[in-house]
Every structure is written in structure tokens, then in C-alpha cells.
Amino acid sequence: MGCSAAGTGTLCDAVTGLSKALRDPILPFNQVRTLPPRETPGAIDPAITQANIDTTICRPGYARSARPPYAVTGTLKRRLMQFQHPGETMADYELDHLIPISIGGAPLDRRDLWLQPRRGRANAADKNVLAYVLWRLVCEHRVPLATAQRDISRDWTHAYQIYATPENVARYHFRHRETGGE
């Protein structure tokens, strides 16, 4: 029986929509816009290893302290916008680390930086959820650091389907502002 037939209206429609969103993995309509360009294969910080994650990336505040200042990233983002998306609005893109700093991505290596769309399916917010879930899984020693780095750099949308399950997202109570990730 559908929502309208049951007479429950908007609440039923909202629950049905949420249920569908949780069951359906993110499937990008335009793979070119959801994955970084070939010249952005990802880069890792060689100082971060499986042996030292508990004293580096898993330490609260690590990603924030390792993140380059806006004076640096803002300039880089403007240059990339002029080259890759001339005439488009900067607010429509996030300067993203393909391998997040929170799981050992290289903070200032251009091979790890790309402009990720903030709108549409498979957007920057979706990747931020994945980054947070992977950070938690790595720091709980449930996923090896190298595996997380490899999976997110090969195809982050596929990694999302593997790791950002509704169960993992619920377990870690992902809230964008509290993340260790991007």
C-alpha cells in the first residue's frame, strides 16, 4: 500500500524517500564530474604509516593542524577554477584532497588536490561522509591504512559503496562539522 492510499501523506513520503536513499548507493550520473582528473591520482604523506596512526592521524585535531591555511589553498583553488572551470562560481566546488589528510593524504601535494562539485549526486558532502567513516575504521584498526588510501584514490564512489554503509554512517553518527575527515 502506498503513502497516499494509506492516508498518511508527507511523513510517509519522507520515510519512504529516506529508506530509498539508504538502500541505493550513490551512482554518479556523470562519472567525469565525480572523479578527479587523471593528473590527480592521490598522494600520501610518507610520514604517516600504519605503525604511527595512533599518534598521528588518529589523534584528535590532527587533520585540522595538518591542513594548509586558507591563504595557500584559496590561491590554489582560484588558479584551478580559472583553468578547469572558467566563469563558474567558486562556491560550487570544494578544493578536495582525494586521499583525505585524516587518512594520511599529502596536505600540499598537487597530485592529491582537485576541484570537487558541491552539488549533484556523488558530491563533496558525500565524499566527506566517506572520509569520516574511513578515518574511524582506520583508527579502530578495522581497515588497514594502505587499504583505505588505495580504495579512496582508485574510485571514491566505489569506496563509498563499500564503507559508507547505512550501518557505518549510523554507527559513527556522522555530522559534517565534527569530522576528522575532509
**Contact (CB, 8 A) for 69 and 94:** no
Range of the domain at 168: 34-178
18 belongs to a structural domain: no
Between 29 and 98, the more confident residue is 98
107 belongs to a structural domain: yes
167 belongs to a structural domain: yes
Q: What's the chain's Rg over C-alpha atoms?
A: 18
Exposed / middle / buried, residue 179 (Cβ in 10 Å: 0-12, 13-18, 19+)? buried
pTM confidence score: 0.79
Interval 85-95: pLDDT, tens? 999 999 999 99
22 belongs to a structural domain: no
Interval 126-178: pLDDT, tens? 999 999 999 999 999 999 999 999 999 999 999 999 999 999 999 987 665 44
Residue 173's pLDDT is what? 77
Torsion angle in degrees (nearest 10) through CA of 93, 37, 128, 167: 140
Exposed / middle / buried, residue 164 (Cβ in 10 Å: 0-12, 13-18, 19+)? buried
113 belongs to a structural domain: yes
- Across all residues in the chain, what is the average pLDDT? 84
* Counted domains in the chain: 1
92 belongs to a structural domain: yes
Give the amino acid at 25.
P
20 belongs to a structural domain: no
